[in-house]
Chains A and B, each alone.
Chain A
Amino acid sequence: AYPSQLGLQDASSPIMEELMNFHDHTLMIVFLISSLVLYIITLMLTTKLTHTSTMDAQEVETIWTILPAVILILIALPSLRILYMMDEINNPALTVKTMGHQWYWSYEYTDYEDLCFDSYMVPTSDLKPGELRLLEVDNRVVLPMELPIRMLISSEDVLHSWAVPSLGLKTDAIPGRLNQATISSNRPGLFYGQCSEICGSNHSFMPIVLEMVPLKNFEDWSLSMI
């Protein structure tokens, strides 16, 4: 990400790549329709020609009924394709749980040993040079890259939402419910996200940072954390 960015962050997972392509496709349709409508409005406003005896307009009415239906189908088909792709069955290599609290996330890696920790935002006054304001946390979620990981998301108090835009993830954290998301990162790196459901005064101050590393580094990290 860079300052004054307008578009989506670079995709780091296959689903996000698909979503970006779909977004470009749909946005292009939106721009075409908007510019056509604006053009027609300017034509209407800048002509001296009049026609006061219009009774019907069957041909143009047919076109502007059928054409939007076709456009909607052209949007719906890729959309459904991606929707089903997100639900594909995969065998996750690892299961990690995250619980939303007011106002921090806690993470649990309980596949083998019990590794649990909290992840609080680093206050602005404690940031080191180069760190991102309102996005850095004290304990990052370290995960192995290029492996499908099952993420189970819930909450201990109110509604929260666990989101990491560059991986195309956003899943609500609902108390009493366990929601599943699949993380699969193409490459190593730091991926930031923020709580995406209003949860009180510090809703804007409970970010998420994923640190995707090779499996060996993940193993060493989890040994050091237990």
Chain B
Amino acid sequence: MAPGPRRGSACEQAFYDGISGCWQPSGVSTTAEDIRTKIKDYKIPFDSHFPNQNETRNCWLNYLDFHHCEKAMTTSEGGDVSMCEWYQRVYKSLCPVSWVSAWDDGRAEGAFPGKI
């Protein structure tokens, strides 16, 4: 299998421009290329629910949504927790690490302010 976008290849510029669809699947890739594909996959796009400067609610709601989804998937039969991966990706990128650990501790102790 061909490796990911090579230096000077047509896909490289498309990658830098953030245009998807030019990526080629990689077989034996180096870690730098892993990161390049991960950047493409892991970038959190603009969310029109939160068009302004204040992204607090974006972080909070995605954290809540992930845990709602995880709880729903684990309690129902045939639920697949990997469906919740998007919310997890978003909250991991957006929410400060200290907030996430405080909320996780709160959930463990039953002192979490949100309803899950």
Interface residues of A (CB under 8 A from B): 87, 89-95, 97, 99, 108, 110-112, 114, 116, 146-147, 150, 152, 154, 156, 171, 176-181, 215-216, 219-220, 222-223
Contacts and interface: CB of A to CB of B under 8 A. Distances in A.
How would you classify the secondary structure of chain A's contact residues: helix, strand, loop or mixed?
Answer: mixed
A110 B92 contact: yes
Contacts, number: 83
A152 B94 contact: yes
Nearest to A223: B31
Contacts of A147: 16, 18
Contacts of A181: 53
Interface stretch (B21-29, B38-46, B71-79): B38-46
Nearest to B38: A112
Contact of B94 (A90, A99, A146, A178): A178
Interface of B: 16, 18, 31-32, 35-36, 38-39, 42-46, 51-56, 58-59, 92-98
A180 to B, nearest CB: 5
A178 B54 contact: yes
Nearest to A216: B32
B35 A93 contact: no
24 contacts: A87-B51, A87-B52, A89-B51, A91-B18, A92-B46, A97-B94, A97-B96, A99-B98, A110-B93, A111-B38, A111-B43, A114-B97, A152-B94, A154-B96, A171-B53, A178-B58, A178-B95, A179-B54, A179-B55, A180-B53, A180-B54, A215-B16, A219-B35, A223-B35
Nearest to B59: A178
A98 to B, nearest CB: 9
Given A97-B96, A99-B98, A178-B56, A91 B45 contact: yes
A93 B38 CA distance: 11
Contacts of A176: 56
A145 B38 CA distance: 18
A93 B35 CA distance: 12
A223 B32 contact: yes
A152 B55 contact: yes
